[in-house]
Every structure is written in C-alpha cells, then in structure tokens.
Structure 1
Amino acid sequence: MCKGLSYLPSSCLEKAKEMRVKLSHLAETHHKNKTQDGRILQDLETLLNSKSGLQAFRAFLRSEFSEENLQFWLACEDYRVSPSNLQKTKACSIYNQFINPDAPLEVNLDAETREALLSVMDSPCPKTFNKAQQRIYSLMAKDSFPRFLRSHHCMEAVKAF
C-alpha cells in the first residue's frame, strides 16, 4: 500500500518540487505565447487539440500499454461528426472494438454504462457515446495525464518547442 510522501527521501521530494516549478513555468511561458502547441501542459483538452501534444501523449500511452483510452476518445470524436448514414456502422464498430467485454481494445467502463450503450446500439444518435467518452476522458485526466506530465515523453515534447 501507499505509505505517503513522508517515506520518500527529502532529496526526492525537493527534486519533485523543482521539476513541478519548472513545468509550471514552462506551461505559463508557452501559454503567454498563445500558440496551440505552446499550451501543451495547460490541461488535457489543450493537449488533445494539439497535434504535437497528441502525438506525445499517444507515445506515452503506448509505452504504458494503455493507448486504447485515447483511441476510444478519438473514435468518439470522429463518430460525433460523422454523417447520420454512417453512424450505425461506426457505432457498431466502436462498440465491438472498445465496449464489448470481448473487445480487442476494451476500455474500463462500469456495467451500467455498458448496458446503456448496448440498449441503444440499434438506433444510435450523435450523443450515443457521450457518457462513456466523458468517463474515459475523466480517467485520462485524473490518471494518465498527470503521469504523462512526469514522463520523458512530456519532457521531449517541451524540448521540441
């Protein structure tokens, strides 16, 4: 179990504080530049809307064998803007690829959300995956994104600016 930060050597804690200050400073500096890629560290939404940020985040998730969350989120974004005549086909594809318990890229969703999706697969609409997509986004924002900020993938992306 986690014993808290008090068990870490003070040198590690100081190093972590220094890194956080540097990352915050970089984020502020890039934010002031008002460039899309410069705001890579601001939040997950900004990262996902940045081509280079998205590439760095994808590489990080791939290294952790958890790229399916991002793939699902992107598939939902694509689905939302799809013409209505393609929605049923795309909805079935997303369900089979990410939601079905035997899916090759199964994402971590609660049973209630899975059941709700299964019940609307016959007549999907543009908002069909909104709740599931939001749950996966929250998972990435709370779990993957903070780890990404501490990763070498993030450091490399920052250096590229």
Structure 2
Amino acid sequence: MCKGLSAIPSSCLEKAKGMRVKLSHLAEKQEWVYKHRANEEKLPQDLESLLNSKLGVQAFRWFLRSEFSEENLEFWLACEQYKSSSGPKLAGKAQSIYNQFINPDAPREVNLDSETREGLTGLMQEPTADTFDEAQHRIFSLMAKDSFPRFQRSLRVP
C-alpha cells in the first residue's frame, strides 16, 4: 500500500527537488545549444560579445543558474542599468545594488576583494554614475577568466 510522500524522508525530498532544478537547467541549456546550432550562429568568442547579445546573456544566465553562481552576471547587468540612471533616483538605485550584491550580508553577494569593497563603501555617501565601475570591471574579469570558459566548454556537444 502506498503511504504517500509523508513516508519519504525529508532529506530525500530535498535531494529530489535539487535534481529537478538541475535537470530543468540542463534541458534549457540543451535547447539553447540546439537553437544556436540550428541557426548556424557563431559561438561567442569573448565575454563582451556574449554580453552584447540578448540570446547570449540568456544562455549564460541559464548556465550560471545551473552552477548556482548567477550573482556575478546579475551584478554586472545591474551596473549597466545603473550607469544609464540619473537624477534623484541615483542614490536609491546605488543603495539597492549595494544592499543586494556588495554588503557582507547581501543575499546575492559577489566575490570582491576587500580593497574594492571598502572603496565602494566609501563612495556610497555620494554615489555617481561611475560609482560601481571598478567593482563591475573586477567582476567582469572574474567571469571572463572563470565562468565564461566553463560556459564555452559546456556548449561543446559531442
């Protein structure tokens, strides 16, 4: 007789949920790879080209999500959007980015060295359009050296 889900240990249910998430990300990635090849698009050769492509950003996001490391891309994109901001909303947007990605208790904290983090903390008193430039550059470099090469390797389907 079936006892239902309540008979299954919660640790098994958590593992099953994790596997479901990973499989859905894998399916999304495979869908993108096949679309990419079907359209005979050239694989992105550098991160800058990828980030200038809506489809490229979407595929990179799917890949990073599957590795549970999407925060660097999200921070970079938030900085790009922030640069185009102006006026009285600038300080609020800067604080939002800081709280979400920079603050040591941030829910999506990015990996920045202490010097960059401290410098940025000092700039938060009077933020300008280029407040996050150095931090954004460091995160771009990190993605270019680390996650982007793994992303490129993941696209190679035997």
Deviation at 1:79, TM superposition (A): 0.4
Distance 2:131 2:107 in 1: 21
Residue of structure 2 aligned with 1:149, choices 138, 149, 152: 152
| Bigger Rg, which one | 2
> Which residue, 134, 140, 143 being the options, matches 2:137?
134
TM-score normalised by structure 1 residue count? 0.70
Q: Is the 8 A contact 1:40 1:50 kept in 2?
A: no
Mapped to 2, the partners of 1:70 and 1:99 lie a distance apart of: 14
Instruction: Identify which range, 113-122 or 137-146, moves more after superposition.
Output: 113-122
2:90 paired with 1:98 = no
Cross-structure match for 1:44:
47
User: Size of the alignment, in residue pairs?
Assistant: 119
> Which residue matches 1:72?
75
How many angstroms apart in 1 are the aligned matches of 2:49 and 2:69?
20
Q: Give aligned-pair identity as a percent.
A: 66
- Runs (4+) of structure 1 exceeding 4 A deviation are none
Give the conservation status (yes or no) of the 8 Å contact 1:40–1:53: no
Structure 1: gaps spanning 5 or more residues: 1-25, 31-37, 157-161
Residue ranges of structure 2 left out of the alignment (5+ in a row)? 1-35
Deviation at 1:53, TM superposition (A): 0.8
Change (3 A) 1:148 1:85: same
State the AA in 2 paired with 1:45.
E
- State the 1:41 CA deviation: 1.6
Q: Which amino acid aligns with 2:51?
A: L
> Is the 2:86–2:129 Cα contact (8 Å) retained in structure 1?
no
